Amino acid sequence: MSKESTLIAALRALAPHPAARGLQDDCAVLDFGGETLVLTHDMMVEGVHWLAGQDMADVAWKLVATNLSDLAAKGADPIGVLLGFTLGDDDTRFLTGLNEALTAFNVPLLGGDTVSANGPRTLGLTALGRATSRSVPDRRGASPGDTLWLTGPVGAAMLGFEALRDRTSADSTAFRRPTPRLPEGRALAPLVTAMMDVSDGLLIDATRMAQASNVTFAITSASVPFPPSLPPERQDDAMRWGDDYELLFTLPSGIEPPISAHCIGTANAPTASPVIVDGAVLHGSLGYTHD
């Protein structure tokens, strides 16, 4: 999940952090005890990050999955999570989903805190991981000539969200129960020049990577993977919708990824437009931005 915020930027300026490297990303990367620790903290708010009335088991799953997705983008093995939880009426469902996610991804709950509050509930999760590659990927390393890749389709979460919102019979799994690309991230980490998870939308996240790397990405829309159920006229929407948690990465020219992935474009010398699709500059909202 992305957290480009004015506040965090202001905090960074206020509080230097010599111990950390990789702070331009969603994760903190720290040398500790001869190894490299990767840390992330993401929040979810009722009515913002989940629909009021949504099954809290799915919310718990997503809270875990989105944080682990940040670790996946670093090629890190999860070590454990700390939970900040606002108590509610359906905590049993939350517990069920939390346990399902922790079991599915083999991650222990290390601790946390619970509070009571009136109003929309806020949840927070801190995830810790151990870097598996000496060079921990970030979004800054893409160079002109690199190829741009995506581990899987974008748009499935959008369709899932719409199914849930409109109470249709379409499959909402991709929105409710995303899968962090942990094995893929570990396999890719030693090879990529840049990597991040697509949490807010392909176009906005590609823009962020392009800006951080000082390149322009030329994306070919016909190469972008979409779910089979996506109507062709929704492909542009799908590139602007988030929540799919696939990995977006770049490789030096000629290097093939060791896992199944889709080459969707190339990195070129920077222009005024960080991302162009089918040769055209982008217009309109690029994707979803959380506060």
Using CB under 8 A, which residues numbered 128 to 167 contact its own copies? 128, 130
Nearer Cβ to its own copies, position 51 or 259? Answer: 51
- Of positions 27, 196, 215, 218, contacts its own copies by CB under 8 A: 27
Give the C-alpha separation, 56 to 50, whole Å. 9
Stretch that binds its own copies, among 44-52, 217-225, 263-271, 280-288 (CB under 8 A): 44-52
Other Cβ atoms within 10 Å of 45 Cβ, number: 16
Best CA proximity match to 257, nearest among 180, 192, 193: 192
The interface mask with its own copies, positions 7-26, x = CB under 8 A, is: xx-xxx-xxxxxxx--x--x
Give the C-alpha separation, 130 to 71, whole Å. 9
User: Residue 194 forms beta bridges with which residues?
Assistant: 250
Rule CB under 8 A: is residue 126 a binding residue for its own copies? Answer: yes
The interface mask with its own copies, positions 58-97, x = CB under 8 A, is: ---------------------xx-xxxxxx---x---x--
* Shortest distance, position 117 Cβ to its own copies, whole Å: 5
Nearer Cβ to its own copies, position 114 or 168? Answer: 114
Cα dihedral 243, 223, 159, 202 sign: positive
Backbone angles phi and psi of 25, in degrees to 5? -100, -170
Residue type, 111: G
Rule CB under 8 A: is residue 169 a binding residue for its own copies? Answer: no
Give the number of C-alpha atoms closer than 13 A to the C-alpha of residue 21, restricted to the C-beta side. 13
Residues 6 or more apart from 101 whose CB is under 8 A from it? 60, 61, 63, 64, 65, 107
Rule CB under 8 A: is residue 39 a binding residue for its own copies? Answer: yes
* Shortest distance, position 257 Cβ to its own copies, whole Å: 28
Instruction: Give the number of residues written for the chain.
Output: 291
Nearer Cβ to its own copies, position 102 or 251? Answer: 102
* Shortest distance, position 269 Cβ to its own copies, whole Å: 31
Q: Three-class SS of residue 159?
A: helix
* Shortest distance, position 83 Cβ to its own copies, whole Å: 7
The interface mask with its own copies, positions 106-125, x = CB under 8 A, is: --xxxxxxxxxxxxx-x-x-
CA distances in angstroms from 11 to 38, 208, 273, listed in the order given: 20, 20, 29
* Shortest distance, position 251 Cβ to its own copies, whole Å: 27
Rule CB under 8 A: is residue 51 a binding residue for its own copies? Answer: no
Rule CB under 8 A: is residue 259 a binding residue for its own copies? Answer: no
* Shortest distance, position 45 Cβ to its own copies, whole Å: 5
- Of positions 98, 148, 163, 189, contacts its own copies by CB under 8 A: 98
Cross-sheet strand order for the sheet of 20-21: 20-21, 28-32, 35-45, 122-131, 76-86, 109-115
Nearer Cβ to its own copies, position 105 or 217? Answer: 105
